[in-house]
Chains A and B, each alone.
Chain A
Amino acid sequence: MQIYLPIAEVSVNIFLILGMGGGIGFLSGLFGVGGGFLMTPLLIFIGIPPAVAVGTEANQIVASSISGVLAHFKRGNVDIRMGVMLLIGGVIGSTFGVWLFTFLKTLGQIDLVIKLSYVIFLGVIGSLMFIESLNSMRASKKAGPPKRKGHNILHGLPFKMRFRRSKLYISAVLPLAVGVVVGILSAIMGVGGGFVMVPAMIYLLGMPTAVVVGTSLFQIIFVTANVTVLQAVNNYAVDVVLALLLLIGGVIGAQFGARAGAKLKGEQLRVLLAMMVLGVCIKIALDLTLTPDDLYALGTTGGH
C-alpha cells in the first residue's frame, strides 16, 4: 500500500516504513540508543530527500526519547542537574548546527558533510566500544569491579559543580562542551546523538552507567525538539506523516527489543552494537570512495 508524503514529495510503501520503524525500534530498545544513526541513512537510501530525512528523524527521536525517559525517571536514573548542563550546551550546538546545515546546503556540500560525519563518528565510537567491550568481556571472567579512573587534566578546569545523582564533582565546562558537540551532530546528522553522548558521559565525565542512559535521553528530547522546530522553520524539512509512521513501528519494535535485551549481558550487547555501528560506517565509507554511477548530480537549487 503506497502513501504519498506531503513534505518529502515521494510515494512510499506504508509497510516498508512501518517495518523500518519496527526494526530500528527493536535495536533501540535492545541497546538503549535512539537509532537515528541507522534510520537517517536508511531513509535517504529509500529515496527520502536527505534534508527531510534529517528533519523528520529528529522529530521521531523526540517521541522515542520521551517514551524511554519516563521509564528511567521512575527508577531515579535521571540526573536532572547534569541533564540541564548538557542541554544548555545542546541547544547552543544544535542552533549553530542547523545554521551550518543551511549554509552547507547552499554550498552543495551537505551530503558530503553528513556522510563524512557519519564515517568519522561511527568509526571512532564503534572501534572504541568494540575494543572496550571485548576487554571487559575478558576481564569479567576474572571478576572484580572496573577500577575508578584517577584524576586527570579535565579535573583541573574551573566552575566546579556537584552532581549528586552522578556522584561527581566536576567542572560545568565539561558537560557544556559535550552538549555543544552533540547538538551540532544532532542537527547535521539527524541523530539524537546518544551514540556519542553515552560513551562521552561514561568515559569522559565518568558518570555511573545506570544514570547515563536516562540522563542522555532526558537532554536528547530537548535537543531534537529544538532541531525539529529549526528544521521546520528554516528548511521546511519535517514530514509529520513520515514521522508518525516511523513512530508507530518504532514503539512496537522497542517493546520487543527491550525484552530481548534483558536476556543478554551488558558486554555482549555492547559488542553487538559496536559491530552494527562499524557496519554502517563501512557502508557509508564505501559510498564515498567507490566511483558513482553518474559523475554529474543534481544540486539543491531546483528543490522546493
Chain B
Amino acid sequence: MSGILRFISLLSLGAILFATPPALAKGLEVDLSKPDVRLDVSFEGADLLLFGATDHEGDIIVVVRGPAKDTSIRLKERVAGIWVSTDEVIFEGAPSFYALASSKPIDDLLAMEVLLQQKIGTKNLGLVAKSAPDDATEDTLKNFKDGLVRNMVAKNLYTGEPGQIDLVGKQLFRTDLWFPANVHVGEYVIDTYLITNGRIATHNSTQLSVHKVGLEAEIYNFAHEHALLYGLLAILIAVVSGWTANAVFKKRG
C-alpha cells in the first residue's frame, strides 16, 4: 500500500519537476516499493517495484548488482568414463546477483564501449580471472565466463532475458524486480541510467539491503558466532527428540 502512496507522491513530484523550467539539472529520481528485502521463515523470493521520474524524455536502463564475490567455476571432463572436475578459474569479485531491465534492447541504446565500461549486460560484466590454468587462452577464459553466466542464470541469480521497463507518459517509469529465494544476503546496488541520444544523460545509484530477519537471522548468526555451542545444541535437540520418540513408541506398545 505504501508503495502505491509513494507512487502517487512521485506522480506529483514528477509534475513539479515538469513544471519547473527545463533547466540544466538532469534530475532522475528513483524509489522502491520496499526499503529492503527481508529473509524470514516464510521467504519465497521477493517482488519489488522500482519506479522513478526524470525531468526529460529518454530511455531507462536499470541494473541490480548483489555483493561481489570471488567465484570459482570448474570444467568437467571425462576421465576413465567418469565426469571429473578438472580446470578451475576463479573470477575476482563477480556479482552474486545481477538483474537487468531496460525500456529498449541495451544494444540499441548504448555503444559497446559504454556498456563494457558501465558493466551493463551479462556479456559485459568485465570479469577478471584471479586464478586460471597456466595454458588458459582468451577463448578458454571466455568459455569459463559464459559458463559462469549460464550457471547463475540457471540459479535465477542473473537475468537471462532483460526485464521490461514501462514508460508511463514521458517522464515516469516503472519496472518489477524479482529476488529469488536463493539470493545471498548483503548490500545490493541499483543503478538507474537515463539514456538520451545514445549517451548516458544521468545516472542514479540506490542501495538495497538484503538481510535475514527474526528467527532466520538469530539461527544463522548463532551458528556462525558460536559454532561449537550451536553444534552441541543441535545434538541436544536430537537426543531429546530421539528419547521422546522412544517414549511414545513404548506407550503405543
- Chain A positions within 8 Å of B, measured between CB atoms, are 2-4, 6-7, 9-11, 59-60, 62-67, 70-71, 108-109, 111-112, 116, 225, 228-233, 236, 238, 240-241, 243-244, 247-248, 251, 254-255, 288-289, 291-292, 294-302, 304
A66 to chain B, nearest CB (A): 3
Most buried by B among A108, A112, A232: A232
Chain A contact residues: helix, strand, loop or mixed = helix
A70 touching B246, Cβ below 8 Å: yes
12 residue pairs A–B, Cβ–Cβ below 8 Å: A7-B223, A11-B45, A59-B234, A67-B241, A225-B238, A228-B234, A233-B231, A236-B227, A240-B219, A296-B146, A298-B72, A299-B90
B40 touching A4, Cβ below 8 Å: yes
Contacts of B90 in A (CB 8 A): 299, 301
B147 touching A299, Cβ below 8 Å: no
Contacts of B152 in A (CB 8 A): 298
| Known contacts A6-B216, A296-B143: A244-B237 contact under CB 8 Å | yes
- Chain B positions within 8 Å of A, measured between CB atoms, are 39-45, 69-77, 81-85, 88, 90, 94, 96, 143-144, 146-148, 150-152, 154, 181-182, 184, 212, 215-217, 219-220, 223-224, 227-228, 230-235, 237-239, 241-243, 245-246, 248-249, 252
Contacts of A299 in B (CB 8 A): 71-74, 85, 88, 90
Which residue of B has the minimal Cβ distance to A302? B71
A66 touching B147, Cβ below 8 Å: no
B84 touching A112, Cβ below 8 Å: yes
A10 to chain B, nearest CB (A): 6
Most buried by A among B43, B82, B242: B242
B249 touching A71, Cβ below 8 Å: yes
Contacts of A255 in B (CB 8 A): 249, 252
Contacts of B245 in A (CB 8 A): 63-64, 67, 251, 254
A2 to B71, CA, bound (A): 29
Contacts of A244 in B (CB 8 A): 237, 241
Contacts of A254 in B (CB 8 A): 245
The 8 closest A-B pairs by CB, nearest first: A296-B147, A299-B72, A66-B242, A232-B231, A11-B181, A301-B72, A229-B231, A63-B238
A295 touching B147, Cβ below 8 Å: yes
Most buried by B among A2, A66, A233, A294: A66
Contacts of A236 in B (CB 8 A): 223-224, 227
| Known contacts A11-B43, A62-B242, A66-B239: A297-B151 contact under CB 8 Å | yes
A7 to B218, CA, bound (A): 11
B83 touching A225, Cβ below 8 Å: no
Chain B contact residues: helix, strand, loop or mixed = helix
A109 to B83, CA, bound (A): 11
A286 to B219, CA, bound (A): 37
B231 touching A3, Cβ below 8 Å: no
Contacts of B70 in A (CB 8 A): 301-302
B128 to chain A, nearest CB (A): 15
Contacts of A67 in B (CB 8 A): 241-243, 245-246, 249
A71 to B247, CA, bound (A): 10
A296 touching B73, Cβ below 8 Å: yes
A111 to B72, CA, bound (A): 15
Which residue of A has the minimal Cβ distance to B82? A288
Which residue of B has the minimal Cβ distance to A251? B245
A289 touching B74, Cβ below 8 Å: no
A172 to chain B, nearest CB (A): 27
Contacts of A298 in B (CB 8 A): 71-74, 148, 151-152
A114 to chain B, nearest CB (A): 12
Which of A116, A233, A296, A304 is B75 in contact with, Cβ under 8 Å?
Answer: A296
Contacts of A111 in B (CB 8 A): 85
A243 to B233, CA, bound (A): 12
| Known contacts A70-B243, A247-B241: A62-B45 contact under CB 8 Å | no
B42 to chain A, nearest CB (A): 7
A7 touching B219, Cβ below 8 Å: yes
A18 to B45, CA, bound (A): 22
A232 touching B230, Cβ below 8 Å: yes
B83 touching A288, Cβ below 8 Å: yes
| Known contacts A62-B235, A108-B88: A4-B230 contact under CB 8 Å | no
Contacts of B239 in A (CB 8 A): 62-63, 66
B182 touching A3, Cβ below 8 Å: no
B74 touching A243, Cβ below 8 Å: no
Contacts of A4 in B (CB 8 A): 39-44, 181, 216
A255 to B250, CA, bound (A): 11
Which residue of A has the minimal Cβ distance to B183? A9
Which residue of A has the minimal Cβ distance to B94? A302
A111 to B232, CA, bound (A): 27
Contacts of B223 in A (CB 8 A): 6-7, 232, 236, 238
Which of B75, B94, B151, B238 is A62 in contact with, Cβ under 8 Å?
Answer: B238
